[in-house]
Structure 1
Amino acid sequence: MFGDPRSSHALQVRAEERARLLGQLPGLSNQALLPFIAAAFATDELVSAYLMPLRSVPRETGEGDPTALSQCLAAMERARRCRTLVLKSSWEPVAVALLVNPCGCYLCLRELMLGCHYRSTPDMYQRIRRVRAEVLSKPLQALCDVDPQIGRYLACLLGSGSYEGLEVRRAVEMQRAVYRETLWMS
């Protein structure tokens, strides 16, 4: 899917970046979500895309350039503090959805910053959807195999699943939280 590192130094740097990224995530009580996140961030390009500075986002006083990861972490924290989600133990799938949902966008933004050009806006949107599906399909399937219930909720939150087998009211509430926080991030 993406290029491979060419040296052992590059491998070490990438491993350190991945460890730094994964180390910044909030603690999750659902242990099935951890391998999903690790699998989603298996490519060096995605780790790099989440750690790159987003210069178009306004700076807070005293902070460096925000990154895609810092934007996702802020949204995840808001989901963790959302009373309606915490009361129903729904914040973790929402937080994970907020983390991985924009992966296609961030990878394509990284490509643009590295000089890749798209013929048209629809081509770019198709590329974002395709890349997102490539990154998330196998980790999501593995999550569904390990924890079918949480896998179905996360698939629904990511737009690749249905309400079948879910508590619809809870799923809609979770989707609303993802949508609200996604708007906040943009």
Structure 2
Amino acid sequence: MLSRQFPYVTFILCISTFIVSLAVNDTISGTLAGQIKVPELEPYGGYTLEHLLNFELWRLLVSQFIHVKQFHMFYNVLSLFVLGCLLETRMSRFVFVSIWFLAGSAGTFVSTFTVPAPWNLGTGGSQGILALAAAGVVLYASGQLRTKITAFVLGWVIFPAFVLDIIYAENHLPKPGHIVSFALGLLIALFYVRKSVTR
């Protein structure tokens, strides 16, 4: 019974993000939290369309582990952990990791077209996390996970992401990559909920 309730996928994703991001940061800067620049992440998983056209598909996964700012990474890991504890065993591990990877990859890919080179490398875990948060919104709205803690966690994850986008973006709009990931997370979760209801 305990094995079914433990969020194994969440644990693996959190540990992988924590270790890979810090290791890459240490390799580049010489310290675990030293300052690095986006272009320096290319050898370690950051990507653009050109990398994908060269079939460097491993970057779709690894790019979601590496971060330019390690404080941001810590926040993402914590967000992923609390979301995973709520969602993973409720919606099945396969659906959970599919939303994280597919919607996260799509958002990261879109983000590569929104800034000029060489700063346009796709990196970071925010897109996958926002996709999972969107799935949580669907479960909450459908009544499958309607608790106060769920509402708090969703607000804690979603609100800062979009507010910071609006504050710091030049056009004061949410980042396209964040919007795409969130929308895909909603769509995949809606399909899952509809399918589970019709069984």
Q: TM-score, normalised by structure 2?
A: 0.45
Q: When you count helix as a share of all residues, which structure comes out higher? A: 2
